[in-house]
Each structure stands twice: as structure tokens, then as C-alpha cells.
């Protein structure tokens, strides 16, 4: 390997390592938590504890590494749908915004748990 190829390889690996950390580092926690509160998501969900709905940590774990995770979760929180709670189908609420940036931020927040 010549010096130029070695340099490019080392630079590429260094860049990959530098950017491979937390993909959700730019999340606005305060806004995500406000949207959860305003949308009454916390009535059924918690970060760690199981309530009527799954904890956000469990949701994040289920979607980890899944290429379609963000799209699926955006659809889940923005379109009316049903979920099973205690063996019964119930309506799942939607977030109280149509602002795509806020919704993306919320999903990034959930996936970062």
C-alpha cells in the first residue's frame, strides 16, 4: 500500500469512528418531553416502567438496528391506529403537532433511550 492509500484509509476509519457515536446527540430533550406531555403520551408510557403502554427503553430496543424504525414510529405516532392493552384493542393517540421537525425530534428521543 502506498502512503496516499494508507492516509486515505486511516482518515476514512477515523471519520467513521468519530461519527459512529450517538446518532441522536442533537435531540432537544426538553421539546420531546413537552410534546410527550402535551400529547398525553406519558399517561400510558414511561421511559423505564411499564404502564398501559411499553416503556420507551423497550420500544427503542425493539427498533434498534431496524432500517425502517424511524418511519414506522413516525407513522405510529401521527396516524390513528389501534394497540393491544391488556388483551383488548384500544385507540392509540397521536401527537399534538404536525411539525415534522418536532415529530422527528420526538422519534429520535425515543430511539435514543
pLDDT (tens digit per residue) in 18-37: 444 445 458 999 999 999 99
C-alpha torsion sign, points 112, 65, 85, 97: positive
Give me the helix-helix angle, 56-63 and 100-111, nearest 10°: 90
| Domains along the chain with CATH numbers | 26-111 (1.10.760.10)
Residue with C-alpha cell 420526538?
106
How far, in whole angstroms, is CA 113 from its chain's centroid? 8
Answer whether 59's CB lies under 8 Å from 92's CB.
Answer: no
pLDDT (tens digit per residue) in 65-100: 999 999 999 999 999 999 999 999 999 999 999 999
Give the separation between CA 46 and CA 43, rounded to whole angstroms. Answer: 8
pTM of the model: 0.77
Amino acid at each position: 500500500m502506498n502512503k496516499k492509500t494508507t492516509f486515505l484509509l486511516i482518515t476514512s476509519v477515523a471519520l467513521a469512528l468519530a461519527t459512529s457515536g450517538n446518532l441522536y446527540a442533537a435531540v432537544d430533550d426538553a421539546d420531546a418531553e413537552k410534546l410527550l406531555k402535551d400529547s398525553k403520551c406519558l399517561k400510558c408510557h414511561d421511559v423505564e416502567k411499564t404502564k398501559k403502554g411499553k416503556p420507551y427503553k423497550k420500544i427503542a430496543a425493539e427498533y434498534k438496528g431496524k432500517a425502517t424504525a424511524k418511519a414506522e414510529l413516525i407513522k405510529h405516532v401521527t396516524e390513528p391506529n389501534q394497540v393491544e392493552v391488556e388483551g383488548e384493542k384500544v385507540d392509540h393517540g397521536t401527537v399534538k403537532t404536525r411539525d415534522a421537525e418536532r415529530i422527528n425530534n420526538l422519534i429520535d428521543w425515543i430511539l435514543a433511550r
